Amino acid sequence: MKKVIIIMGPPGSGKGTQSEIIAGKFGHYYLESSKVIDAKLAGVLDNDSEEVEGKKYILSEQKKKREAGEIMAAELVTSWMLNKVRDLSKDGEDLVVAGSPRTLYEAERFMPLLADLYGKENIVVISIDLPEEEAIFRSCHRRICSLVRHPILYYEETKDLTVCPLDGSELLTRKDDNTKTVKIRMEKYRKETLPGLEYCKKEGYNVKEVKGKQTPAELHEDILKVLND
Ligand SMILES: [Zn+2]
């Protein structure tokens, strides 16, 4: 099994669900940029700031950007992710990563660090391909549980649930899951994240594409095939 599995795809493509499955089955640490970001932004005060490469960032401004569905300062998010990866590799964790790298800037720093720490040959990047209208529908209909953010996808069997079937906690719609912000995120994905994926290909990382328009169980089977290649 690869030590580092990076799953990329547009909003709603099932990156999170697939990462949870892989983490559960193979014991990889699920490194999710949105959780790293949320942890950093929780409880920030108006004037809290952080300096990266000599530039100062006001955290409350970054939080507002995030809530509007915009991509935050790449320098800041990247430095948080790089530090997290260093800590995890020290702890001997294998990784499954969703939502990073999210920009070319991040890819240019994140991938070489992973290659240093884990070996380039131990990294695979899986790109989930999903039509835009499907991505928007899914994003606008999914929910997460309030306890540990279990993703609850929209199906006949799940659409009337009011609590998480795994832990009984309340189900929430993510603040940034509405048509307007999902469209913004789609466009950001195309303009800012795809160049990062291109970078991975150009630099000779092992990049594999899988079809996203299938059930999570079927998608997982496709991902397993890729991992066992
Ligand atoms: Zn739950």
Q: What is the pLDDT of residue 182?
A: 85
Q: Which CATH superfamily is domain 4-131+192-228 in?
A: P-loop containing nucleotide triphosphate hydrolases (3.40.50.300)
CA of 215 to the centre of ligand 1 (A): 20
CA of 163 to the centre of ligand 1 (A): 8
How many CB atoms are located within 10 Å of the residue 101 CB? 29
Q: What is the pLDDT of residue 149?
A: 86
CA of 122 to the centre of ligand 1 (A): 31
Q: What is the pLDDT of residue 5?
A: 98
CA of 108 to the centre of ligand 1 (A): 35
CA of 229 to the centre of ligand 1 (A): 33
CA of 219 to the centre of ligand 1 (A): 22
Rounded Cα–Cα distance for residues 116 and 114 (Å): 5
CA of 175 to the centre of ligand 1 (A): 17
Q: What is the pLDDT of residue 105?
A: 94
Burial of 148 (0-12, 13-18, 19+ CB in 10 A): exposed
Q: What is the pLDDT of residue 140?
A: 87
CA of 170 to the centre of ligand 1 (A): 8
CA of 32 to the centre of ligand 1 (A): 16
CA of 90 to the centre of ligand 1 (A): 29
**What distances in angstroms separate CA 148 from CA 13, 100, 144, 160, 228, one per listed residue?**
20, 20, 8, 20, 30
CA of 151 to the centre of ligand 1 (A): 8
Q: What is the pLDDT of residue 1?
A: 84
CA of 25 to the centre of ligand 1 (A): 18
Q: What is the pLDDT of residue 185?
A: 84
CA of 152 to the centre of ligand 1 (A): 9
CA of 182 to the centre of ligand 1 (A): 23
CA of 29 to the centre of ligand 1 (A): 18
> What is the token pair recorded at 37?
């970001």
Question: What's the predicted TM-score (pTM) here?
Answer: 0.84
> Where exactly are the structural domains of the chain?
4-131+192-228
- Nearest CA to 102 out of 118, 130, 81 is that of 81
CA of 171 to the centre of ligand 1 (A): 8
CA of 74 to the centre of ligand 1 (A): 30
pLDDT 10s per residue in the chain (229 long)?
889 999 999 988 989 889 999 999 999 999 998 889 999 999 898 889 999 999 999 999 999 988 886 778 989 999 999 999 999 999 999 999 998 898 999 999 999 999 999 999 999 999 999 998 898 888 889 899 999 988 888 888 899 999 999 999 999 988 777 888 888 888 989 999 999 999 999 999 999 999 999 889 999 999 999 998 7
Rounded Cα–Cα distance for residues 24 and 63 (Å): 30
